[in-house]
Structure 1
Amino acid sequence: MKLRTRWIIILIVAVWAVISVLPYGKNMKLGLDLQGGMHVVLGVDTDKAVEGRLEGFTVKIRKELAAESVNFGYVQMDNKGRINIALNNTDDADKVKKIISDRYDTLEAVASSGNNILSYRFNNAAVKQIKEYAVEQSLEVVRNRIDQFGVTEPVIQRQGQNQVVVQLPGITDPERAISLIGRTAQLKFHIVNETVNPEDAVSGNIPFDSILLYQKVTDKNTGKVLSSVPFVVKREAVLTGDYLVDASVSFTQNNLPAVQFTLDSAGSKLFEEVTGQNVNRRMAIVLDDNVYSAPVIKSKIAGGSAIIDGIGTLEEAKEIAIVLRAGSLPAPVSIEENRTVGPSLGQDSINSGLKAALAGIAAVIIFMGVYYRKSGLIANAALLFNFLLIFAVMSQFQATLTLPGIAGMILTLAMSVDANVLIYERIREELRIGRTSLNAVEYGYEKALSTILDSNITTIIAAVVLFQFGTGPIKGFAVTLSIGILASLFTALFFTRTVFATVLGGNETKSVSI
């Protein structure tokens, strides 16, 4: 390649690098360890997702069998993950089997406990798909909630089989963020079973078709929970929040905070049917197994709009509105890891990292200048060019700079210098055996090439493995290390060689200071 072409390439790369990094750090994001924030690992209970889907199938099958005039005693889900259908007339067995096989291809028959009982469960492929979907949907729901929470540049990604990693830079209210992220937000409507005394239910006397839930009574000013009121409600929800399309903060007639929600057309129709069938009965509005209110249905409610009252504070109402708009999590999540870094600690990390990097660069520059003379100055120019390229690539691809990433840069400094040392020592060997400066430089680069490529490629392989299997800071280290190695190959093998060719100018008799 002609010398002029080489310099054109170097100039283009240099201009691109300067444009990419100016103004400083415009696109490069700082990690949590540098600007402060939260790192949360959520564990998704995928078994509950399977259980929830099976519960939905149980309700649908019961309605469809009733519509097909099947004479059955009950359709219930047991604690072994099965749907049991008890038939009053065994002649209906073939009809039920056909309905299940035609409409529910994810269910498979299992051995039942009686001649008049048919049992079904999800097949293995369906269970795997439901669990996979639960994690992916949790990822999207959390992302929607964070977007409405107002955090800039969050990192939300899947980790392993059933974990979601959430990184919130610059967060100032970690407790509220955790409450928002981890809330399941499953909205359900249950008819209150008023034939049972709640006090009897508290002592354990609960019918098989009912469950015991509580309503928290809170202080209107502080939001502190004062007491809990027991409610016995029908186990099966008559309506769920799956039909919800919007939710917003509202206020009751007493000027207390509430959440107004709107259902879609199908939900509105179902809500109208449910309220019409249960006039003068109480319907509990339940969010995450907590009864917020249980008003008496005075008449059929059309329009698909209602409110959730009984909310303690305005902040809680805002959070409920956010999670309802973003959608409910398909399964409960647990906080498996929670780390918070303060902004002051992050600034200390930046200062320490910069000091370490500058000290390392200064030491290397002095050593190379003293030991390799003028050739050392070329290596130092390549070193600075190398750092410019690292920042340019990271800014261009909006990579996240972490404290381990700074460590990766410093390690790259060593790799870059190592390549120049290999080349220079080869050049010295060629000069000792009597070659001219021009030939010594050419042979030095050629003989050092294989060694440099071997050492850098093996390091890149290690960095790829770290990126693939590492998390958080480990990935940051792997990214900067990989970018740095590629930049060092360009500067050591292309940039410095071009400078040497320019300095020597094709003159066989000209000496090289090395």
Structure 2
Amino acid sequence: MRNSKSKKSQKTNSTILFLVAVLAVGLLAYAGFFGFKNVFGYRVKPFTETINKGLDLQGGISVLEEIKGNVDNDTLERTIEMLSMRVNPEGVKETTVQREGKNRIRIEIPGEFNSKKVLDTIGKTGKLEFKGPDGNVILTGTDIKDASAYLDDMGSPTIGLELKEAGAKKFADATSKFLNQRIAIYMDDEMLTNPTVSAVITNGKATITGSETLEEASRQANIIKSGALPVTLEAVEFKTVGATLGSNALPLSMKAGAVGISLVLLFMLIYYRGPGLMADIALIFYVVLVLGTFSAVKATLTLSGIAGFLLTVGMAVDANVLIFERIKEELKLGKSIRNAIDAGFGKALSSILDSNITTIIAAIILYNLGSGSVKGFALTLMIGIVLSIFTALTITRFLLKLSVEMGLVNSTSHFGIKRG
């Protein structure tokens, strides 16, 4: 009698837990794809608004710049910082400025179609200026010897500035004249920082405080140092993706992805029935989880990235197929459903890890050696594979066990196995 009540209670608890899980997945999916207009006064944006879209999805300009002559790694990194500030001074655009090869820099500006403006902005000589409160120029980039960022004794981000001999003399006069006043630092007429002069500096070595983080201080130090870089940039590749082409690519890609995922869900449901339904719920959660991760890490989604994402959906399904086939083998040996599920997951683990780890290694190589769209493909592939392993081994297993406990999957025929 007690055993019967215990089983009934377990079935009820499992049913409630299953319904809560399905409801949670449904709400997350709805929020991700459609959003909510008003949740406690806040608007929940859909993935289409929170995930950055690449050049090929919304149109824009891509430029490949080459630095003439031999440059070291520090010079290249500082040049990247300088170009980043030029093409995105407010820091709000979805621009990409990254190294490509030994001495090339790829610049992508989605939503921008004025090619002359972009080329003029990128190609102009960097102009670093220190200006006093009267607006007169005190120092230029040629007066800077070095600039670096560090944490001072109090743990505050600080920029250490070292000037050349001529610059040191000019700065000594300026700090004496403008003591307790501000000297602003500009790069290409954009204010970089505006520190207050707290002491007369005669030795050509100054410190600039006020940065909120060490990363911000490093960025500013690199830009200050880059003001004196004797580098020449040449555009070796230039392309414009039209707004119409870019805007058409996204809905077509979304439609193709929706059709592909729907066919996969339908296949799992028809072929594996009850267990297939659990896999479908886990797969929907997986899709939401991956897209949510893209949004959280501010990844830029491109056409190749969408291809990588859809590939990981296939690999997520493949993991479930491996698990279910292992379970079927265990059922054929006469094991109970519960024991077959535990054994199936355990025996499928090595196969799942082997296939996915080799793909992750390939993706890492592509990310490090590739460029532009190849990096986007590799990044989405890595994120998707890691999350597909997680959902297959945890979410699918969790849902499958609940389905057994509540009696939804209680016969070997639900796995396609008929016992005589």
The TM-score range, normalised by the shorter chain, is 0.5 to 0.7
C-alpha separation in 2, matches of 1:363 and 1:20: 20
- The counterpart of 2:137, out of the listed 251, 255, 263, is 263
- The counterpart of 2:116, out of the listed 166, 175, 181, is 175
Does the C-alpha gap of structure 1 residues 506 and 380 become closer, same or farther in structure 2, counting only changes over 3 Å?
Answer: closer
Aligned partners of 1:368 and 1:379 also within 8 Å: yes
CA drift at 1:16: 8.4
C-alpha separation in 2, matches of 1:10 and 1:502: 10
Pairing 1:387–2:261 present: no
Pairing 1:510–2:410 present: yes
Deviations 1:228-274 (A, max 9, x none): xxxxxxxxxxxxx66x3369xxxxxxxxxxxxx8421699x9xxxxx
Corresponding residue of 1:496: 396
Does the C-alpha gap of structure 1 residues 139 and 166 become closer, same or farther in structure 2, counting only changes over 3 Å?
Answer: same
TM-score, normalising length from structure 1? 0.54
Deviations 1:291-340 (A, max 9, x none): xxxxxxxxxxxx99xxxxxxxxxxxxxxx965999857521110122121
- The counterpart of 2:96, out of the listed 131, 134, 155, is 155
CA drift at 1:473: 0.8
Corresponding residue of 1:29: 52
Corresponding residue of 2:252: 352
Does the C-alpha gap of structure 1 residues 262 and 392 become closer, same or farther in structure 2, counting only changes over 3 Å?
Answer: same
Corresponding residue of 1:378: 278
Q: Secondary structure at the match of 1:153?
A: coil
C-alpha separation in 2, matches of 1:422 and 1:412: 15
C-alpha separation in 1, matches of 2:91 and 2:115: 13
Does the C-alpha gap of structure 1 residues 409 and 322 become closer, same or farther in structure 2, counting only changes over 3 Å?
Answer: same
Corresponding residue of 2:215: none
Does the C-alpha gap of structure 1 residues 132 and 324 become closer, same or farther in structure 2, counting only changes over 3 Å?
Answer: farther
- The counterpart of 1:484, out of the listed 361, 369, 384, is 384
Q: Secondary structure at the match of 1:510?
A: coil
Does the C-alpha gap of structure 1 residues 406 and 491 become closer, same or farther in structure 2, counting only changes over 3 Å?
Answer: same
Higher mean Cα deviation, 321-330 or 358-367?
321-330
Higher mean Cα deviation, 391-400 or 338-347?
338-347
CA drift at 1:159: 2.4
Corresponding residue of 1:166: 107
Aligned partners of 1:138 and 1:330 also within 8 Å: no
**In the alignment, residue 448 of structure 1 is paired with which amino acid?**
A
Q: Secondary structure at the match of 1:38?
A: strand
Corresponding residue of 2:130: 245
CA drift at 1:140: 2.3
Corresponding residue of 1:462: 362
Pairing 1:438–2:323 present: no
Aligned partners of 1:456 and 1:485 also within 8 Å: yes
Higher share of residues assigned helix: 2
C-alpha separation in 1, matches of 2:139 and 2:304: 52
Structure 2: gaps spanning 5 or more residues: 1-9, 34-43, 144-172, 175-186, 193-222, 416-420
C-alpha separation in 1, matches of 2:74 and 2:318: 48
CA drift at 1:17: 8.6
Aligned partners of 2:60 and 2:243 also within 8 Å: yes
Aligned partners of 1:145 and 1:322 also within 8 Å: no
Q: Secondary structure at the match of 2:328?
A: helix
C-alpha separation in 2, matches of 1:137 and 1:417: 44
Aligned partners of 1:35 and 1:169 also within 8 Å: yes
Deviations 1:65-92 (A, max 9, x none): xxxxxxxxxxxxxxxxxxxxxxxxxxxx
Does the C-alpha gap of structure 1 residues 363 and 452 become closer, same or farther in structure 2, counting only changes over 3 Å?
Answer: same
**In the alignment, residue 29 of structure 1 is paired with which amino acid?**
N
C-alpha separation in 2, matches of 1:340 and 1:501: 53
Deviations 1:470-501 (A, max 9, x none): 11111111111111111211211111111121
Corresponding residue of 2:264: 364
C-alpha separation in 2, matches of 1:392 and 1:149: 26
Does the C-alpha gap of structure 1 residues 265 and 323 become closer, same or farther in structure 2, counting only changes over 3 Å?
Answer: closer
Higher mean Cα deviation, 327-336 or 485-494?
327-336
- The counterpart of 1:44, out of the listed 63, 67, 72, is 67
Q: Secondary structure at the match of 2:88?
A: helix
C-alpha separation in 2, matches of 1:380 and 1:16: 15
Aligned partners of 1:386 and 1:491 also within 8 Å: yes
**Structural mapping, 1:267-346, within 5 Å:** 322=189, 327=227, 330-346=230-246
Does the C-alpha gap of structure 1 residues 262 and 17 become closer, same or farther in structure 2, counting only changes over 3 Å?
Answer: farther
Does the C-alpha gap of structure 1 residues 378 and 39 become closer, same or farther in structure 2, counting only changes over 3 Å?
Answer: same
Aligned partners of 1:44 and 1:333 also within 8 Å: yes
C-alpha separation in 2, matches of 1:38 and 1:445: 48
C-alpha separation in 2, matches of 1:146 and 1:463: 30
Q: Which has the larger radius of gyration?
A: 1
Q: Secondary structure at the match of 2:97?
A: strand
CA drift at 1:161: 2.2
Does the C-alpha gap of structure 1 residues 460 and 132 become closer, same or farther in structure 2, counting only changes over 3 Å?
Answer: closer
Corresponding residue of 1:103: none
C-alpha separation in 2, matches of 1:330 and 1:16: 52
Structure 1: gaps spanning 5 or more residues: 48-129, 186-240, 248-260, 270-302, 305-319
C-alpha separation in 1, matches of 2:121 and 2:90: 8
